[in-house]
Amino acid sequence: MGEFNNVLAINQSPTYPSDFGLMPNIGPNVNAGGAPMDDIVGGGSSGALASGGPLYFTIDDPSTSYFANEIVVDPTPLLAGGASGDETIFATSVELGLGMFDDINAMSVFDVDANSDFTAGDQVLFSLSPASPLLAAMGWSAADVLTISPGDAAPSIFAFASDLGLLPGDNLDMLELVPLQGTAEQTIINKVPAPGTLVLVGSCALIGGVRRRR
C-alpha cells in the first residue's frame, strides 16, 4: 500500500488523500513530540534546599507524570546539586485517604524521620481543589485545611476556613509553616500583607494563600 496510503488506519500525512484534518499534519514516521503537560501546584521542603533537603510537591491534572492525589518527593533536587530522575512517591492516594478525582491544592509535609516515605510519626497538612469529590461528600470546602498521618483511615479537619478568616467559597492554594516572629500579629505583619490568614500551630504560624472566587 505504501507509507502514505494505509487503508487500515488514518494517516496524518499531508500527501494522504483522506487525512481527516488531523493535527499535526506530518507523516506517520515523524515523531511529533509533545508540549510539557506537568503543572506543579504545591510544594515544600523540610530543610534548606541549599543543604540538600528533600523537595515535596504535587502535580495538577491533567499532568502525565504523576496523579493529582499523591505527593511526590525529590530527595536530592537539582537546586541542591542532586541528580535528576530520583523522584519517588512520598504518599499515595490510598495513604492520604483520597479518591481518584481528588486534587491536592496546597500542602505542608512533616517528614519527621526524613526518609522520604510516609511512615509513622509523619504528618501532612493539605487543601483540596474545589472540584474534589471528598469535599462535597464531607461538607468541607477548598478553604479548609485537612490533615492525615500514617495509619489514619481518612483525612480530618485541621482548621476550618473560618479559623483562617476565610469564606467557604475561597480556594486555599498555598500553605507555609513559618516560625513565630514575636507575637502572632507581628508574624502576620512580617509575612502576610493582608491579615486574617493564619492559624497557630504550637510555636509556629501556618500561613495560607487564598484565591477568591469572583
For 147-182, give the secondary structure using H, E and C: EECCCCCCCEEEECHHHHCCCCCCEEEEEEEEECCC
Q: Supply the pLDDT for residue 39.
A: 62
| Higher local confidence (pLDDT), 99 or 55 | 99
Is-contact 79 50, C-beta < 8 A? yes
**What distances in angstroms separate CA 134 from CA 71, 173, 189, one per listed residue?**
17, 17, 34
Is-contact 143 171, C-beta < 8 A? yes
Residue 201 has pLDDT above 50, yes or no: no
Is-contact 95 72, C-beta < 8 A? no
Mean pLDDT within 125-148 = 94
Residue 26 has pLDDT above 70, yes or no: no
pLDDT in tens, 51-89: 556 888 888 776 767 888 999 888 776 554 555 567 889
Q: How confident is the model at residue 90 (pLDDT cuts 50, 70, 90)?
A: very high
Q: To which residue does cell 519527621 refer?
A: 112
Residue 166 has pLDDT above 60, yes or no: yes
**Is this structure's pTM higher than 0.75?**
no
Residue type, 82: G
Residue 49 has pLDDT above 60, yes or no: no
